Structure 1
C-alpha cells in the first residue's frame, strides 16, 4: 500500500533551535537527581506503568513496563560513570533473568521492551555475557508468538484466545530490535526474518493510506488474510492514537537501522509528517489522540518524548540532500525544550519526571499522570542531544 507523505505545515520547525550545553546539563542533572532519590526504593522493585497522584508506588517485576527503570539506570551510568547505578542495575538484571526463567507474565510481545532495555543493554554497556544469553532466550520466547501464515507476532494474550488471536499492534515495532539482536549474535536468520515479516505486515496493514496508523490490526491466522483495524487506547477505531503514531515513527526507523531497507525509513518519515502536522500551535506537545489539535483534551507528554527520540534517530540516517532532515531535528529539540520548560515535576511533589502523560484515556488509567516510559524516553532524548549514544534498541 502506498501511503501519502504530507508536507510539513508548520514553518517554525524550519528554524534551527539552539541548544545550550549548560542548559542541557541542568536538565540532565534534574533527571539524575530524581533517579538518585529513587535508587533505594526501586532497588528490588520497579515503578509501575503510571503514577497515582504523581507518585510511583513500588511493584514487582511483572508488567510490560518494568524495564524502563533499568533503562534509565543504564543511561545514568553511561552519562556519569558512577558505580551507584551499577549496584542497582545488577540487582535489577537478576530480576529479569529470574522473570524469564520463571515465565512470569510473558504472554506478550513486550518481551522486546523488557529484554532490550535490561539484557541487551547489559551486554552492550557492560559486556555481560549472561545478559546476552538471557536476551537470546527472551528472543526465543518472543518468536513463539509468531503466526506463520499471517506473518505477525501476536501482541497480547494466549495464542488460542479468540479475542486476541492474530492481533498485532503498532507498539510491536519497538519490540523487534530484540530479534535483530538475537540474529546478529547467534548468526541464525530466523529471528531476523520474523522481525522483517512483522514490520512489513505492520507497514502494509497498520499504516493507513493517509499515513496515520491503527493502534491494533487483526489478521486471520489460518489464511493470513487481513481482517480489520481496531483501537484499544485511541479515541475511535478510525482515529490516530498519538503514542501509537510515535511508536511507529521510532519503530520503523529502527527496522531500517537493522535491515538497511529504505522503505522503513520512508514510512517513518510519512508517519512523522502526519504527527507533526497535528501538534498544537502553542507548545508542540501532542494531545493523547491526534484527532485533537485544540481544546480541553489531555496532552500526552510521553508520546512527545518517544517521537523526539524517533525524530533524532530518523534525522541521523537521511542524506544532507533530504529537505526535511534538519526539520526533524529542529522539531525534536523544540519538543524536548517544551517538555523541560512546561512538563517536568520540578515544582511539584512527585517521584516521577514528566507530568501530563496519558496511559489509557478510554480505560481511565494513568490519565494526566507520570508514565514511566515517558520518563525513560525523555531522558533518552536528552542523552541523545549531549553525547554520542549507542542505542539499546
Structure 2
C-alpha cells in the first residue's frame, strides 16, 4: 500500500511540474522555442573579449579580421573604416557585465579615434568609426568630452554633403562613380540625427533626412533589392546609374547591403517619422526574409549563380537582426512586430551555435562573414563588424526579454 501511495505521489509531483512548465511557457510566449541562453552567451562573449584584451593594446591597432589558418585578429590603424567596431565591442561587453576594467579598456581604445572628428573628411565612414566608439561611450558614461567629439564628428561628416544631389559623398577617392552614395552610408546618418538633437547644428537633421530620401528614391529598386552604389551628376543631381560594387552583379541582391537598408531606413523613420521611410524599411525587410535560404543565414549575395557552393555572410545576419528589432518597435501591426522580433531571434539563435559561433576557434565571436568577394578580400572569415552587431542584437534581445518579464509580473 505504501509503495502505491509513493507512486501516486511521484506521479502527482510530475503532473504538477508538467502543469507548471506549461503555465510558464504560456506566460513567456515572447521567447522562441529552442532559444539560446542569451545571458550565458553574453557572459561567454564578455569573457572572450577580456581574454583578447590581454593581448591587444591601443598602440597596436584595432581588430579587423582573422585570416584562415590564424587565431588572432589582424589589426588596422585609426583611419581604417572598421576602427570603431572593436572599441564598440568592448563598450557592449562593459554594458553586458558592468565590469569596470572593461570600461577602462573601452576608454583606452576609444581615445585614439578622436583625431577623426577634427580632421578633414576622407569618406562617409565617420559614423561607423565614431558613433560605434564615442557614441556608445557617451551613451553609457555621459562623458561630456565624448559628446564634444561626436558633435565635431557630425560637422566633419556633413562637409561631404552635396546640396545639388541632396546626399553625402561616400567615397571622395572613387571618382569613377562621380558623386557616389552607397547604401552603407544610411548607417552614418544616426550620428547626424543625434547631433541635431544634442546641441549640434539643426542643418544636420536636414542633411540626414535629404540623404535618406535620395537613397530611398534611387538605390532601392522596384524589386525591393538595393543597389550598393548610386552615381549622380554632381552639378545637376541627376541619377546616372546604380551598381552593386561588392555584390555578384549590379542587379543582384548583396546580402550586407540589404541589411544596411533594413537597419538604416528603420532609424530614418525613428528620427523623422516620415511614413515613406517606414514603408521602405518594411519593403526591404520583407524581401530579405522572403528570400532567406532554409537554414536562415544568407549567402553573401542572394543571386550568386553558384549557390549553395558560395560563402555565407554572418555579418549580414547580425546587421539584419539589429535592423528588424529596431523596425519591430514602429510597425503598427502587433503580429508584424512579433514576426520581426521572431525572425531576428532566430538569426541570433543560429549565430550562437555551430557553425557560426566561434567558441574556442579563435579570438572572434562569429565565423563565416564575407567582406568583398569580387575583390577576393575577407572571404568566409571572422570580421569585426559581425561581432559588433551580434553583441548589439544580443543586448537588444536581453532588454526586450527583461521588459516583457516586467510587464508579465505586473499583469
Question: Where in structure 2 are there 5+ consecutive unaligned residues?
Answer: 1-28, 402-411
Q: Which residue of 1 aligns with 2:325?
A: 312
Give 1:21 shift.
Answer: 8.3
Counterpart check, 1:376 vs 2:388: yes
8 Å Cα contact 1:167-1:216 kept in structure 2:
yes
Query: In 1, Cα distance between the equivalents of 2:360 and 2:159?
Result: 46
Among 122, 143, 147, which residue is 1:132 paired with? Answer: 147
Q: Which residue of 1 aligns with 2:234?
A: 221
Q: Which residue of 2 aligns with 1:238?
A: 251
Query: In 2, Cα distance between the equivalents of 1:92 and 1:187?
Result: 25
Q: Which residue of 2 aligns with 1:286?
A: 298
Counterpart check, 1:67 vs 2:81: no
Q: Bigger relative contact order, structure 1 or 2, given CA contacts below 8 A and separation 6+?
A: 1
Query: In 2, Cα distance between the equivalents of 1:192 and 1:70?
Result: 26
Q: Which residue of 1 aligns with 2:343?
A: 331
Q: Secondary structure at the match of 1:167?
A: strand
Query: In 1, Cα distance between the equivalents of 2:246 and 2:36?
Result: 38
Query: In 2, Cα distance between the equivalents of 1:339 and 1:214?
Result: 26
Matches within 5 A, 1:324-363: 324-342=336-354, 343-348=356-361, 350-363=362-375
Query: In 2, Cα distance between the equivalents of 1:211 and 1:262?
Result: 17
More displaced stretch, 47-56 vs 25-34: 47-56
Query: In 2, Cα distance between the equivalents of 1:191 and 1:58?
Result: 33
Query: In 2, Cα distance between the equivalents of 1:304 and 1:21?
Result: 16
Give 1:80 shift.
Answer: 1.2
Q: Secondary structure at the match of 2:74?
A: coil
Question: Where in structure 1 are there 5+ consecutive unaligned residues?
Answer: 1-14
Query: In 1, Cα distance between the equivalents of 2:178 and 2:102?
Result: 40
Q: Give the CA RMSD over aligned residues.
A: 2.0
Q: Secondary structure at the match of 1:211?
A: coil
Matches within 5 A, 1:94-243: 94-101=111-118, 106-158=121-173, 162-186=175-199, 188-243=201-256
Equivalent pairs counted in the alignment come to: 368
Larger Rg computed on CA atoms: 2
Structure number having the greater helix percentage: 2
Residues 119 and 225 of structure 1: CA distance in aligned 2, closer, same or farther (over 3 Å): same
Give 1:131 shift.
Answer: 0.9
TM-score, L = length of structure 1: 0.89
8 Å Cα contact 1:70-1:89 kept in structure 2:
yes
Residues 16 and 79 of structure 1: CA distance in aligned 2, closer, same or farther (over 3 Å): closer
Q: Secondary structure at the match of 1:359?
A: coil
Residues 157 and 41 of structure 1: CA distance in aligned 2, closer, same or farther (over 3 Å): farther
Query: In 2, Cα distance between the equivalents of 1:386 and 1:259?
Result: 27
